[in-house]
Amino acid sequence: MSTPATPRIQFKSLRGFPPTTSNAEEKVETLLFINAAKEVVAVIETFGKLFTPVITDMNGNINKLTKAYNVDPLKYKYLEDLIILNVDMDNFAANALLWLKRGLQLICTFFENIYNDAQNKETLKQHLQDAYERTLKPYHGFIVQSTIKIIYSWVPTRSQLLGQGAAHDENIQTLSSYLPTMRDHLDRIDALLKAHNLDDERKV
């Protein structure tokens, strides 16, 4: 009897996004957010080399945010301050955050679809396609959409990503706390960008 392959992703090993409270005034620490975003990129890397364009794009936006943060780590300790204090000068950081948020929304929605799939379907293409249509597709032109469609057809299976048996169940259990915290951060960032008219809806 063969031993199930080790899952490509082990969510319990991730620090994840820092816990939040119901306080709407609570700010997001820039460095903690950046580090959590890097972990998500590492998760996408397990999807395979075809996803390199997605990884490159997200890493580029992470690097732009990091560069803006490093100008004055004390002043920009919180993500809200990094965006608001630069809003009248340069949208460099805001644009990076906008596209990083969209990429993170894609991955968050993808894993929410997996988590909420009561049938535990092995094929995940439909879950990723649905996530793409609900997050990034409205901001992509035809050429980008066509390229993405090819890439997303090669998403690994549930067993490959999350494992089987106990390993799968452990990943799903971890997602039950990981995803709501991630979603809360993305909702806060979404509200921040919209409040300052930085949610640019032009297509690329």
- Enter the pTM of the model: 0.94
Q: Give domain status of residue 82, yes or no.
A: yes
Burial (0-12, 13-18, 19+ Cβ within 10 Å), 9: buried
For the segment 28-40, the average pLDDT, to the nearest whole number, is: 96
Q: Give domain status of residue 4, yes or no.
A: no
Contacts 24+ apart (CB under 8 A), 192-199: 192/79, 192/80, 192/83, 192/84, 193/83, 193/94, 193/97, 193/98, 193/101, 196/83, 196/84, 196/87, 196/94, 198/83, 198/87, 198/91, 198/94, 198/95, 198/98, 199/98
Q: Give domain status of residue 13, yes or no.
A: no
Q: Give domain status of residue 17, yes or no.
A: no
pLDDT in tens, 38-67: 999 999 999 999 999 999 999 999 999 999
Q: Give domain status of residue 50, yes or no.
A: yes
What dihedral angle (degrees, nearest 10) is formed by the CA atoms of 16, 21, 27, 33?
0
Number of domains in the chain: 1
pLDDT in tens, 123-171: 999 999 999 999 999 999 998 899 888 888 899 999 999 999 999 999 9
Q: Give domain status of residue 3, yes or no.
A: no
Which domain range does residue 33 map to? Answer: 28-195
Q: Give domain status of residue 16, yes or no.
A: no
pLDDT in tens, 1-25: 445 679 999 999 999 998 877 776 7
* CATH for 100: 1.10.3520.10
Q: Give domain status of residue 14, yes or no.
A: no
Cα 181 from chain centroid (whole Å): 12
